[in-house]
Amino acid sequence: MTHGELLAAGGALLGTTLSDPADLVGGWRCTVLRCRTADGATVVLKQFADRPDALACFTAEAAGLQLTRHGPQVLAADPATALLVLADLGSAPNLADVLTGGSAHDARAALLAWAAAYGTLAADAACREAELAELRARYDRGAEPGEEGDWIAELPAVLEALGVDGGCAGLELRLDEFPVFSPGDICPDNNLLFPDGMRVLDFEGADYHSVFLDAAYITMPFSTCWCVFRLPPAIVSEVDSAYRSHVTRLYPELADDGVWRDGVGRAVAAWTVGATAALGARAAEADQPLHPNRTPVPTMRALLRHRWQTLADLPGPPAFADLAERLLAATVGWGVEPLPLYPAFSTDGARR
């Protein structure tokens, strides 16, 4: 749809006239516009592309947002056009802004707010899988999410490109225990910081999955993000404990340190294999920034070596630790520096 057609469609859903569209840069999956209603208020239109992977995101977001109060309110939804009309949360800094341009004090507070937001979200949505299934059926467009779980099958070709010997023997993971509801992509730039707490923007991958897949975002940090630098170990421990305190109320077994460390280690392995499959072949050809127009940002090679080193250092699955060591050995010649701390926790940042 053109912007004019989107305004007309959104206005028809709301029963008002929409004007003054401002592009919020939704990406390849969707068009996102902030626009004005006839009474002067603002709303957000989010329309998904007519392709299976994007339509699956529409179904997930329409259902996920209506399961929880942690994202923008759905004012109207039209499955036929894959269009959502959302309440406008307004402008606020996101967690990435604070980590890359704030003080150490503010970054610590924001990370703890992040842990509280996702811990509370998990608690609010506990045991509501049937309700989510009903919502998904209401907004179903007949499109299934992409098969991201087949990362291990993609590895042999990537390892060959990276010059890694030894194959993929023994690389098996199970991550289906202790399910929690998650928006899917819980990276820093999807989290807006308001005085009364954090609000979440992106529910395009909303579903129930293992608690460890979200917990790993603290350890790695931020498993699927462009905005990745190091966190001080004390901050990692504090934020991990804050998130764990919430989800342990759902699953008392998670109070066992062995259960927690084993699960997080397996989740780090899963996310690291995913990053390797997604970026490894391109990084083997040449290094490049992880995001084309945002700064500060690591390069692909620096990110991958950080992921592999994190996996190698964790008490996780031995076969994955061995793979990480082989990847590190094969890419010593890249000559990239280790990832620095997030600017908020650098020497200069800590003084602000």
* pLDDT score recorded for residue 143: 61
Residues 130 and 230 in one domain: yes
* pLDDT score recorded for residue 348: 52
Cβ(3)–Cβ(17) under 8 Å?
no
Residues 80 and 128 in one domain: no
Average pLDDT of the chain is 93
First vs last Cα of the chain: how many Å apart?
Answer: 46
Grade residue 144 by pLDDT with cuts at 50, 70 and 90. low
Residues 189 and 278 in one domain: yes
Last residue of a domain, one of 63, 87, 111: 87
Full DSSP string of 124-170: HTTT-HHHHHHHHHHT--S-PPP-GGGHHHHHHHHHHHHT--STTTT
Place of tokens 């990832």: 339
Cβ(164)–Cβ(327) under 8 Å?
yes
Residues 305 and 188 in one domain: yes
Rounded Cα distance between 352 and 345, Å, is: 10
Query: How many independent structural domains does the chain possess?
Result: 2
Structure tokens at 263: 């699960």
pLDDT tens string 248-271? 999 999 999 999 999 999 999 999
Structure tokens at 141: 């467009």
Residues 81 and 99 in one domain: no
Burial class (CB in 10 A: 0-12, 13-18, 19+), 45: buried
CATH number at residue 80: 3.30.200.20
C-alpha closest to that of 44 among 31, 35, 52, 53: 35
Q: Rounded to the nearest 5 degrees, what angle is found at the Cα of 69, between the Cα atoms of 27 and 47?
A: 25
Last residue of a domain, one of 53, 87, 121: 87
Residues 37 and 103 in one domain: no
Last residue of a domain, one of 67, 87, 107: 87
* pLDDT score recorded for residue 342: 97
**pTM, full prediction:** 0.93
C-alpha closest to that of 221 among 92, 119, 99: 99
Residues 142 and 285 in one domain: yes
Residues 156 and 35 in one domain: no
**pLDDT surpassing 70 at residue 241:** yes
Residues 169 and 212 in one domain: yes
Residues 230 and 284 in one domain: yes
* pLDDT score recorded for residue 349: 44
Rounded Cα distance between 81 and 114, Å, is: 33
**pLDDT surpassing 60 at residue 350:** no
Q: Which residue range forms the structural domain that includes residue 253?
A: 95-351
Residues 58 and 141 in one domain: no
Residues 66 and 191 in one domain: no
**pLDDT surpassing 70 at residue 234:** yes
Rounded Cα distance between 41 and 18, Å, is: 10
